[in-house]
């Protein structure tokens, strides 16, 4: 599926890998032309790699590949793309990349913005008035937050930083385009703080087990997404602990998805 952005030199190609965590599929984004720049090659599905490569060819070749984060549904196609474009450097926040990006670094037309939370190496990329947000902001639903040190507080700060940019569209890693960035970012901040409010209310009622806390604060989450909710619960508990607001005796979730 092709995602068009009128007024922007950006096109999205959605991979045919729908699922509970990928929604309607993983979005790969191609920015600019002569050369083009690829953000998140996506899964190693032959028809997806072919569609991405065809768009790159239409745009005059590949200048480089940038990763929002190192999860497989965003990165599996890297070897296939690099086999076709061996001179295109790979840029990411992790040390295995040829170009290691830090906050504010530029890679072609892309400005890296550190947005940890979903993954410790997560970046968003700003180009013009568009932001390619990976799994920091989705087109629908919410993301799970990995319980790395300081992850949830850093995630909330990343959302606020995106909100301070003059953006008119968000290009997410999953789901549709977001044409009202400020409303979506406010929704994400409100949602995450509401989770915290519900979790604190459960703790105040004496709930201490993982199942009890999930039943109270993530009651609407379907069973297939409950493991991801438990991972996010761990991140919320870490934030409360860092702020000296976590009571004794709270059970820690298992972190297996």
CATH number at residue 181: 3.60.15.10
- The answer to the question of residue 101 being in a domain is yes
Q: What is the structure's pLDDT at 176? A: 97
Q: How much is the mean pLDDT over the chain? A: 96
Q: What is the structure's pLDDT at 80? A: 98
Query: Could you tell me what percent of the chain has a pLDDT over 70?
Result: 99
What sign does the CA torsion over 230, 66, 31, 127 have? Answer: positive
The pLDDT confidence band at residue 95, using thresholds 50, 70 and 90, is confident
Domain count for the chain: 1
42: left (phi over 0), alpha (psi -120 to 50) or beta: left
Q: Which residues of 232-242 are buried (b: 16+ CB within 10 A; e: fewer)?
A: bbbbbbbbbee
Mean pLDDT of 10-34: 97
Mean pLDDT of 13-39: 97
Q: What is the structure's pLDDT at 256? A: 62
The pLDDT confidence band at residue 257, using thresholds 50, 70 and 90, is low
- Helix/strand/coil for 201: helix
- Give residue-wise pLDDT tens across range 36-90: 999 999 999 999 999 999 999 999 999 999 999 999 999 999 999 999 999 999 9
Q: What is the structure's pLDDT at 85? A: 97
Q: How many CA atoms lie within 13 A of 38 on its CB side?
A: 30
Max Cα distance, the chain (Å)? 61
In this model, does residue 134 exceed pLDDT 90?
yes
- Give residue-wise pLDDT tens across range 218-254: 999 999 999 999 999 999 999 999 999 999 999 999 8
Q: Which residues fall within 8 angstroms of residue 251, CB to CB, at 6 or more apart?
A: 208, 209, 210, 213
Give the separation between CA 39 and CA 63, rounded to whole angstroms. Answer: 11
Q: What is the structure's pLDDT at 255? A: 72
Taking a C-beta distance cutoff of 8 angstroms, is the pair 47, 16 a contact?
Answer: yes
- For the record, the structure tokens of 17 come out as 């890998």
Q: What is the structure's pLDDT at 96? A: 87
- The answer to the question of residue 122 being in a domain is yes
- The answer to the question of residue 244 being in a domain is no
Domain with 138, as residue range(s), is 2-190
- The answer to the question of residue 19 being in a domain is yes
- The answer to the question of residue 176 being in a domain is yes
């Amino acid at each position: 599926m092709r995602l068009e952005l009128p007024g922007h030199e950006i096109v999205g190609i959605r991979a045919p890998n729908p699922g509970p965590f990928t929604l309607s599929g993983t979005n790969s984004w191609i920015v600019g032309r002569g050369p083009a720049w690829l953000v998140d090659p996506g899964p190693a599905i032959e028809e997806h790699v072919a569609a991405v490569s065809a768009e790159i060819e239409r745009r005059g070749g590949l200048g480089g590949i940038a990763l929002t984060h190192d999860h497989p549904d965003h990165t599996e196609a890297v070897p296939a793309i690099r086999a076709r474009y061996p001179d295109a450097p790979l840029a990411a926040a992790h040390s295995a990349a040829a170009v290691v990006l830090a906050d504010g670094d530029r890679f072609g037309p892309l400005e890296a913005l550190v947005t940890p939370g979903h993954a410790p190496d997560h970046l968003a990329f700003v180009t013009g008035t568009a932001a390619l947000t990976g799994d920091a902001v989705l087109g629908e639903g919410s993301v799970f937050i990995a319980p790395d040190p300081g992850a949830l507080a850093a995630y909330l700060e990343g959302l606020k930083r995106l909100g301070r940019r003059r953006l008119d569209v968000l290009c997410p890693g999953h789901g549709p385009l977001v044409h009202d960035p400020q409303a979506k970012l406010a929704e994400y901040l409100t949602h995450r703080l509401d989770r915290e409010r519900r979790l604190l209310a459960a703790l105040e009622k004496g709930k201490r087990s993982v199942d009890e806390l999930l039943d109270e604060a993530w009651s609407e989450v379907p069973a297939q997404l409950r493991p991801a909710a438990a991972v996010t619960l761990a991140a919320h508990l870490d934030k409360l602990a860092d702020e000296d607001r976590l009571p004794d005796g709270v059970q820690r979730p298992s972190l297996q998805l």
